[in-house]
Amino acid sequence: HEVVLRVPVHLDQSNLGIYAELPEPYRSPKKVLVLDAFGEEAEALKKGFELYEYPVTLFDVRHCEDAIPNFSRYDLAVIEKEMYQPLIREVLQSIRKRHPVKTVLLLDRRQAVEMEQDPEIDSRLYRPFSQRDIYNLIVRVFGEESPAASENAQPETPGAKGEIAGLSPLKSTSSAVLSEPESGEKVSGKDRERRRKPLYIPRERKGVTRESFADFQGSLLLAEDNRINQQMFRDLLSRSGLQLTIVSDGKEALDRLKQEGKAYDLVLLDNSMPVMDGEEVARILRQDRRYDNLPLVAFTASSLEEKGKMYEELGFDAFLPKPFKLSQLYDLLEQCLVKGKDREAGNRGERASHGHPVLNEKQGLAYANDQKELYAELLKEFLAVYSLSGTLLRKYQREDSLDQARNLLLDVRGLAATIGAESLYAVVDPLFRRVGEQRTNLTAEDVARYQEELEKLKSAAERYLLEHHA
C-alpha cells in the first residue's frame, strides 16, 4: 500500500523581500478558486494569494458528488490532484471553451513522475510550497496576458522551483556597441528568462581571518576599476590557491572570457565601470549558452532593494555589497568555489564542475524553513523516486519520446532546486529547455552527463542522511 505523508503547512510570510509584491503587470486582482480537502493546506493557499489581494474561494471538495463549482466565475482554479476527477475535467473542458479560466494541479512530486500531459492543466504546484512558489505561479500562468510576456520576456515553463519568471524586458544601461555574443549558440528571446533564481546574499560569519582563504582553489575574474578594491582582493587571496585575474572595465572582461578560452570558476562584476558596466556584461553573457553555468556576482554599492530584482533578471547568481566584510567574501567563495579538501573529495561527489555544490544543504534547509525532518523527507523522496531516472531518461532518448523526457526533466529540475542539488540543476535546466522549447532530442552524451551528476547527488544525499538521520 502506498503511504502518503502529509506535512503540516505553515506559510512563512516574513522576510519575503522581492516576493512581497507582484510586478506591476500582475497586480490587477484575479479571482481564485481552491479545491482541496486538506483544510490547513487550503488555508495556506488562501493566505498566499490574499497577500497579493487576490480574492479566494475555498470549495469543500467532499461535496463534489453533490455540486460542481462554477469555474466560469474565476480566473484561476487550483485543484488538488485527488480531486481532479473525470467529471471535474469534463466540466473544465467545456467551460474553458467559453471562459479562459487558468487551471493548476496541486500534487506531490512522487505523483508527477509518470503523469501524462493534460491540455486542461496549465501548470502545477508542488508540495511543499512557499510564498515564492505562489508568486512564481501567478507570474507564470498569467504571463501571456501581460505586456511583459513579449518575445523577450516569456513566462517560465511550469514547475521550476525557486525561479522568477515573466518579469519586464531587460534594458541595457551601457552605451557600448558590443551587444550580442560574438560566437557560440545564442539564447532565444524565450530563453532569456531561463535561469532566474533568488540572488545569493553572503552571510556574515564568525572567526574568519585572512588565513581562512588559504584552502580555496580555482580561478576568479574580477572586473573592477577601483584600484583600492583591486589591491584588497590581491591581498586577501594571495595566500589562497586561487588564480586571480583583474580587469578594469567590462569590455576587457568579455575579451578575457571570449578570447582566452580560459574557463573561470567565478566572475565578479562592478556595476559602474568605464567602457562597459557589469550589468551589460551579464546581459551579453546570459545570451550565450557557453556561459549558462558560469556564476556571476554583482559587486556593487547599489542597495539590494534598489537593484536586486534587476540583477535577478540579468542572470546574476549572487550579490556582494560595497563595502563588504571579510566574512561575506569568504561565505561567497565557499558557495561558488572549490576548496582544497573538496577537490580531494571530488570522487566522493561533494562538489561538481563550475563551482556548483552537489548538495547545498543550507539552501535545501532554507527552502524547508530550517525543518531538518522535512528536508530529510525530501531527500528520501528524491532517492525513492528518482534514483533510476537516468535509466528512464536513456529509454526516452532512444525512443525519441520528447514529451516523456520533458516531464521527467521538469520534475527533476524542480526537486533539484528544492533540495539544493545545484550541480544537477545546472545540468538538467539546459536539457529541459532544449527538449521542451526547442523540441530537440537529447544525445547519448547528455544522458551520460545527467547520470554522472545523478550518481554524485545520490551519494551526497545518502551520506547526509547517514550522518544526520542515522
Distance between CA 187 and CA 287 in Å, rounded? 5
Look at residue 334 in the predicted model and tell me its pLDDT. 84
Look at residue 115 in the predicted model and tell me its pLDDT. 61
Same domain, 365 and 403: yes
Look at residue 197 in the predicted model and tell me its pLDDT. 62
| Residue 44 β-bridge partners | none
CB atoms within 10 A of CB 347: 8
Last residue of a domain, one of 310, 344, 378: 344
Sign of CA dihedral 234, 236, 237, 239: positive
Same domain, 271 and 375: no
Same domain, 200 and 106: no
Query: H or E stretch including 80?
Result: strand 76-80
Same domain, 319 and 211: yes
Contact 7, 108 (CB under 8 A): no
Look at residue 346 in the predicted model and tell me its pLDDT. 38
Distance between CA 356 and CA 354 in Å, rounded? 6
Same domain, 134 and 197: no
- Lookup result for grid cell 544526520: 468
Same domain, 463 and 362: yes
184 part of a folded domain: no
DSSP 48: H
CB atoms within 10 A of CB 306: 9
Provide the domain limits for residue 205. 189-344
- For 319, the 3-state DSSP assignment is strand
pTM as predicted: 0.39
Distance from CA of residue 451 to its chain's centroid? Answer: 20
- The C-alpha cell of 130 is what? 512557499
Residue-by-residue pLDDT tens, the chain, 470 positions: 444 444 445 555 555 555 677 877 788 889 999 998 767 788 889 988 998 999 999 987 555 555 678 899 999 999 998 888 888 888 899 999 888 899 999 887 666 555 667 888 888 888 778 787 888 888 888 864 433 332 223 333 333 333 322 222 222 223 223 333 344 555 444 444 445 567 788 888 888 888 888 888 888 999 998 887 888 898 888 888 888 999 998 889 988 888 755 678 899 999 888 778 898 899 888 888 778 778 899 998 877 777 888 888 888 989 998 888 888 898 888 887 754 444 333 333 344 444 467 888 887 887 666 778 878 888 888 888 888 999 989 999 999 988 888 888 888 887 787 788 888 988 888 898 888 777 889 999 999 999 999 999 998 888 888 887 65
Cα-based distances in Å from 107 to 6, 46, 79, 304, 454: 11, 16, 9, 34, 24
| Residue 180 β-bridge partners | none
Last residue of a domain, one of 88, 112, 145: 145
Distance between CA 45 and CA 90 in Å, rounded? 25
- The C-alpha cell of 25 is what? 503587470
Look at residue 156 in the predicted model and tell me its pLDDT. 34
162 part of a folded domain: no
Q: What's the chain's length in residues?
A: 470
Contact 49, 134 (CB under 8 A): yes
| CATH code of the domain covering residue 74 | 3.40.50.2300
Same domain, 335 and 358: no
Same domain, 210 and 99: no
Query: H or E stretch including 245?
Result: strand 241-247
Look at residue 469 in the predicted model and tell me its pLDDT. 61
Same domain, 128 and 264: no
With the CA atoms of 144, 123, 287 and 295 taken in that order, what torsion angle do they form, in degrees rounded to the nearest 10? 140
Look at residue 182 in the predicted model and tell me its pLDDT. 43
Q: Name the domain count of the chain.
A: 3
106 part of a folded domain: yes
Same domain, 376 and 317: no
156 part of a folded domain: no
328 part of a folded domain: yes
- For 270, the 3-state DSSP assignment is strand
- For 354, the 3-state DSSP assignment is helix
167 part of a folded domain: no
Same domain, 38 and 78: yes
Last residue of a domain, one of 344, 378, 413: 344
- For 351, the 3-state DSSP assignment is strand
152 part of a folded domain: no
| CATH code of the domain covering residue 451 | 1.20.120
Closest residue by Cα to residue 281 from 426, 391, 387, 178: 178
Distance between CA 73 and CA 32 in Å, rounded? 9
155 part of a folded domain: no
Same domain, 240 and 114: no
